[in-house]
């Protein structure tokens, strides 16, 4: 059993420890929800103030050029590309994950005449399934949502595109992105990966896996701020043939020519649509920049160690209290969070939040703890489990106020 002294030694030896000071983390709080909303990078606060006062306030309309607003979606996209094994000009920041997935799926359908099925799995993040359903209603394409163990067998000649989330939002189980992509390609299907729980959390190499399309979220492990814009990846080899069905003016090859006929940008730029929300967009850049300063392999190593420690401490300190692990045991199969089942999971998480440990709950019985190695300490994990033990011993979770289901997040 790992002792407190050993945990303190782990923090003392942590080469990434210095990054914590770059975040605003309220005193006394153990924040294990960075997979829902990453905390505020101190620099983002300064950047937002600067964008507001100097760029919007003083620069006004000129800031589209002078402050580089117009190029920001591609510039930040190129930075995110470095986190997911993509090349320059393959990633763009725009809109939301849901809308970007719609763009990918619609392009894939158009590129696969004669194939009409969008395939996914039960247990995928709901918005991905919903966007498929909306697109199906619009186009006559068909959604096929199968049990995970039926996925590969369902890859037949009717499948235009397979879409999956790389790291499962509930269990944190990681799909084998390269193998599944290969299987889809072997069946003549394209793939669209949702990297929302992957980017900034687990290694992704889109290029070596030959991935066609991907999307992901800006406000989780990228620490881009609430509702930060999302990103879209389209492999360079597909860009000229992938139609942009949400063909807004900023995706036009010459938006300021004000042509009446849409002529798409030749590259990733065609997946821009309307005008991007600049304040939210530039806050995201600070989160991405900070993440890029860290060694990605070291981050993943520390994340695995933090996760192992959490699993070990719950196992030892909470033995017999009714907790079971809902995430894979093996580090290499587990993404950026640790999920634990408990029959009273909802109330326990509420009680834990009241004690200053912020995780979240996913029905029916999952306590989800985000493990972000950029700002978490091994001591935080110890503290979280200590407070969890107290909640359980005192049966604090039985109180009525912790059993009211009003949570929206």
Q: Shortest approach of a second copy to residue 287 CB, angstroms?
A: 11
Task: Answer yes or no: 194 catalytic.
Answer: yes
Q: What is the CA radius of gyration of the chain?
A: 22
For the beta carbon of residue 401, count every other beta carbon within 10 angstroms. 9
Q: Shortest approach of a second copy to residue 113 CB, angstroms?
A: 13
Query: Which residues pair with residue 264 across a beta bridge?
Result: 252
Element holding 339 (H helix, E strand): strand 337-341
> DSSP label at 38?
P
Catalytic residue among 368, 377, 378, 387: 368
Tokens 């989800």 locate to 368
**Which C-beta is closer to a second copy: that of 70 or that of 294?**
70
Helix (H, G, I), strand (E, B) or coil at 40: strand
If phi > 0 it is left, if psi is from -120 to 50 it is alpha, else beta; for residue 45 that is alpha
Task: Answer yes or no: 404 catalytic.
Answer: no
Q: What is the 3-state secondary structure (H, E, C) of 335-404?
A: CCEEEEECCCHHHHHHHHHHCCEECEEECCCEEEEECCCCCCCHHHHHHHHHHHHHHHHCCHHHCHHHCC
Q: Shortest approach of a second copy to residue 248 CB, angstroms?
A: 4
Number of C-alpha atoms within 13 angstroms, CB side, residue 233?
A: 31
Angle between helices 378-393 and 345-354 (to 10 degrees): 110
CA distance 250 to 273: 5
**Which C-beta is closer to a second copy: that of 276 or that of 373?**
276
**Which C-beta is closer to a second copy: that of 106 or that of 318?**
106
**Which C-beta is closer to a second copy: that of 189 or that of 215?**
215
Number of C-alpha atoms within 13 angstroms, CB side, residue 88?
A: 1
User: Omega into 364 within 30° of 0, i.e. cis?
Assistant: yes
Q: Shortest approach of a second copy to residue 328 CB, angstroms?
A: 20
CA distance 101 to 194: 8
CA distance 6 to 8: 5
Q: Shortest approach of a second copy to residue 58 CB, angstroms?
A: 5
Q: Shortest approach of a second copy to residue 315 CB, angstroms?
A: 26
Retrieve residue 25's tokens.
């983390």
Task: Answer yes or no: 360 catalytic.
Answer: no
**Which C-beta is closer to a second copy: that of 302 or that of 368?**
368
**Which C-beta is closer to a second copy: that of 203 or that of 277?**
277
Q: Shortest approach of a second copy to residue 170 CB, angstroms?
A: 8
Catalytic residue among 128, 194, 265, 360: 194
Task: Answer yes or no: 33 catalytic.
Answer: no
**Which C-beta is closer to a second copy: that of 248 or that of 301?**
248
What is the helix, strand, coil percentage profile of the chain, to 5? 45, 15, 40
Catalytic residue among 103, 220, 302, 334: 220
Query: Which residues pair with residue 30 across a beta bridge?
Result: 357
Q: Shortest approach of a second copy to residue 16 CB, angstroms?
A: 21
Task: Answer yes or no: 220 catalytic.
Answer: yes
**Which C-beta is closer to a second copy: that of 10 or that of 132?**
132
- Cα-Cα-Cα-Cα dihedral of 174, 179, 185, 190, to 10°? 10
CA distance 155 to 186: 9
Catalytic residue among 19, 102, 125, 361: 125
Q: Tell me the H-state helices in 153-277.
A: 177-186, 206-209, 236-239
Residues involved in catalysis: 125, 194, 219-220, 368
């Amino acid at each position: 059993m790992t002792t407190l002294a050993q945990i303190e030694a782990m923090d003392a030896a942590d080469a990434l420890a210095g990054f914590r000071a770059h975040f605003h983390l309220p005193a006394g709080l153990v924040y294990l929800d960075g997979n829902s909303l990453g905390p505020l990078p101190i620099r983002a606060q300064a950047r937002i103030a600067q964008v507001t006062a100097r760029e919007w306030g003083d620069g006004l309309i000129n800031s589209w050029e002078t402050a580089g607003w117009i190029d920001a979606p591609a510039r930040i996209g190129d930075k995110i590309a470095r986190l997911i094994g993509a090349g320059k000009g393959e990633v763009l920041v725009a809109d939301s994950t849901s809308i970007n997935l719609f763009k990918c799926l619609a392009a894939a359908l158009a590129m696969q005449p004669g194939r009409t099925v969008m395939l996914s799995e039960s247990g995928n993040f709901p918005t991905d399934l919903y966007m498929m359903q909306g697109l199906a209603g619009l186009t006559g394409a068909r959604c096929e949502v199968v049990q995970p163990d039926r996925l590969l067998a369902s890859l037949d000649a009717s499948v235009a595109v397979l879409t999956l989330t790389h790291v499962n939002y509930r269990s944190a189980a990681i799909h084998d992105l390269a193998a599944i992509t290969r299987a889809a390609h072997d069946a003549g299907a394209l793939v669209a990966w949702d990297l929302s729980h992957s980017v900034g959390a687990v290694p992704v190499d889109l290029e070596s896996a030959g991935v066609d399309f991907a999307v992901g979220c800006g406000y989780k492990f990228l620490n881009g701020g609430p509702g930060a814009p999302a990103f879209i990846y389209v492999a360079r080899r597909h860009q000229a043939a992938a139609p942009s069905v949400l063909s807004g003016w900023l995706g036009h090859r010459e938006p300021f020519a004000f042509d009446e006929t849409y002529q798409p940008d030749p590259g990733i730029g065609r997946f821009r649509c309307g005008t991007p929300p600049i304040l939210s967009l530039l806050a995201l850049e600070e989160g991405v920049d900070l993440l890029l300063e860290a060694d990605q392999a070291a981050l993943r190593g520390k994340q695995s160690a933090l996760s192992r420690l959490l699993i070990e401490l719950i196992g030892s300190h909470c033995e017999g209290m009714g907790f079971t692990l809902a995430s894979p045991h093996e580090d290499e199969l587990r993404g950026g969070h640790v999920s634990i089942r408990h029959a009273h999971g909802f109330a326990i998480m509420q009680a834990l939040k009241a004690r200053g440990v912020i995780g979240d709950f996913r029905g029916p019985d999952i306590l989800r703890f985000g493990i972000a190695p950029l700002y978490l300490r091994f001591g935080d994990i110890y503290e979280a489990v200590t407070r969890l033990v107290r909640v359980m011993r005192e049966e604090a979770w039985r109180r009525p106020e912790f059993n009211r289901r009003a949570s929206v997040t």
